[in-house]
Structure 1
Amino acid sequence: MLVIAVHGSALPGADGTIDRLVHALPTPAVVGHLDLQRPGLAEVLAHRPGAVVVPLLLGDGYHRSVDLPAVARRFRCTVTPGLAGEPDVARAVDDRLCAAGGPGDAVVVAGAGSTRPGGRDGTLAVVRELRSAHPGVRVVDAYCAGAEPTVPQRVAQLRRAGYRRISIAAHLLAPGRFTRVLEATAGVDAVSAPIADHPLIARLVLNRYESAGPEVLAA
């Protein structure tokens, strides 16, 4: 059984984004939330011991490294790697950026942020991929919480450096508090949409699930 572990959001739009991901998968899947919404991950896994849990998380911060594995161990579940650093994540972010109007002169890749070592690696991987995809465009990282520079700080730096058309590439999965902050950021020309319902993310989740191995999936 496939269980997708998501952070959770208080915004109703997040449910629709995650639902579209689930419906795009060729195998049944159930969503368990780590925060803010029900059903919680523990509630879901209690009825599905031995399930394969795919973390729908773009970084290896506290949720991915600490509390998710602790919950999964209680129910003898297999936890796959998260999505951080996968080229398909960067491609999905780039697709959304192009749909929002393109990179302009400079791009701020906005990640959620994390205080844990390695928690920002996923965002930095997207920065590297977008620099490769858009030579001549300035691409930098910024964070919504838990790390600096913040998105407004980065935008201000770029404005001072003379960049005039600045886009925000949201390295985020679903609508929530952080996407609202990005949309309200002054001095930017475009903000891309989150990526959970992008076809490349569905393919990546399915690959994670299938990589658990036939002996696990048959258990």
Structure 2
Amino acid sequence: MTPLIAVAHGSRDPRSAATVHELLDVVRALRPGLDVRAAFLDLSAPRLTDVLSAVAWDGHREAVVVPLLLGSAYHAKVDVPAAARHPRLSIHIADVLGPDPRLESAALRRLAAAGVRHDDPEVGVVLAAAGSSHAPANALVHSVARRWARGSGWASATAAFAAAADPGVPAAIERLRAAGAKHIALGSWFLAPGLLPDRVIAQARSAAPDVTIAQPLGADIDVAELVLQRYSAAVPAAIGARSA
């Protein structure tokens, strides 16, 4: 069976790698017998290049790399293809995780777990994401927030970004208050804890001290199923390359 190598960005915050490993434990539970390995682009170990070498050493001839990225921006377009190379392996790069409704379901479950009711008209929700210089990646987050604003009973919902894009969290909170929100909730468009999630949490608490904080998507079953779906979609390419 073609190994699944799930590659995350990596972080100096040990909670980030721990969350990735927890997510992959769920993936393994859903697909017993599948060779699932964690890898990182930077700052955490093992690096993707080292995992690919280990896969080749174990006798495999191909691998599927699944980027644990919520959108398609610089890391997906440049960093992953640059690192996903090995002279003894045929490597197939799967699609990034987003966009997909399962990510939205996971984010909404995290809000519900934090105590945010879907029908509370006094709540305004900030959907916080990393932010990117690649505008379509930011547009994806805005589109999710707009769907939430239309489909919920909240006062409103809006996107905010930790870096590289507007609005920031304080400006987003002001927008929600202008829309009638009396209480602010911070939704997470992050896979795992780390520097940027901590930044938006600090900004939210500064602007709204009683803000409700939702956890990152993490080891959610919908996210795990999405990882497997991306892998399965890439496996036919691996099989075709082997039989060509």
Q: TM-score, normalised on structure 2?
A: 0.82
Using the TM superposition, name which of 53-62 and 75-84 deviates more: 75-84
Q: Hey, what's the Cα distance between the residues in 2 that align with 1:96 and 1:123? A: 16
Instruction: Summarize the Cα distance change of 1:215–1:147 in structure 2 as closer, same or farther, 3 Å threshold.
Output: closer
Return the letter of the residue paired with 2:9: H
1:63 match = 75
Instruction: Summarize the Cα distance change of 1:84–1:162 in structure 2 as closer, same or farther, 3 Å threshold.
Output: same
Q: Larger C-alpha radius of gyration, 1 or 2?
A: 2
2:15 match = 13
**How many residues are aligned here?**
219
1:119 match = 137
Using the TM superposition, name which of 149-158 and 105-114 deviates more: 149-158
Residue 66 of structure 1 deviates from its aligned partner by 1.1
Give the gaps of 5 or more residues in structure 1.
none
Question: For 1:89-147, what per-residue CA distance to the aligned partner results, in whole angstroms no more than 9, with x for missing partners?
Answer: 00000000111121652111101100013221331242144235414530111101111
Give the alignment partner of residue 166 of structure 2, picking from 114, 130, 148.
148
Q: CA RMSD in A?
A: 2.1
Q: Hey, what's the Cα distance between the residues in 2 that align with 1:176 and 1:81? A: 23
Q: Secondary structure at the match of 1:51?
A: strand
Q: Residue 180 in 1 paired to residue 198 in 2?
A: yes
Instruction: Summarize the Cα distance change of 1:121–1:43 in structure 2 as closer, same or farther, 3 Å threshold.
Output: farther
Residue 53 of structure 1 deviates from its aligned partner by 0.6
Query: In the alignment, is the contact (CA less than 8 A) between 1:108 and 1:154 conserved in 2?
Result: yes
Query: In the alignment, is the contact (CA less than 8 A) between 2:157 and 2:176 conserved in 1?
Result: no
Q: Secondary structure at the match of 2:157?
A: strand
Query: In the alignment, is the contact (CA less than 8 A) between 1:108 and 1:168 conserved in 2?
Result: yes
Runs of 4+ in 1 over 4 A off after TM superposition: none
Return the letter of the residue paired with 1:12: P
Give the gaps of 5 or more residues in structure 2.
57-61
* Greater percentage in helix: 2
Question: How does 1:30-179 map onto structure 2 within 5 Å?
Answer: 30-48=37-55, 50-74=62-86, 76-102=90-116, 104-179=122-197
Query: In the alignment, is the contact (CA less than 8 A) between 1:14 and 1:174 conserved in 2?
Result: yes
Residue 162 of structure 1 deviates from its aligned partner by 4.2
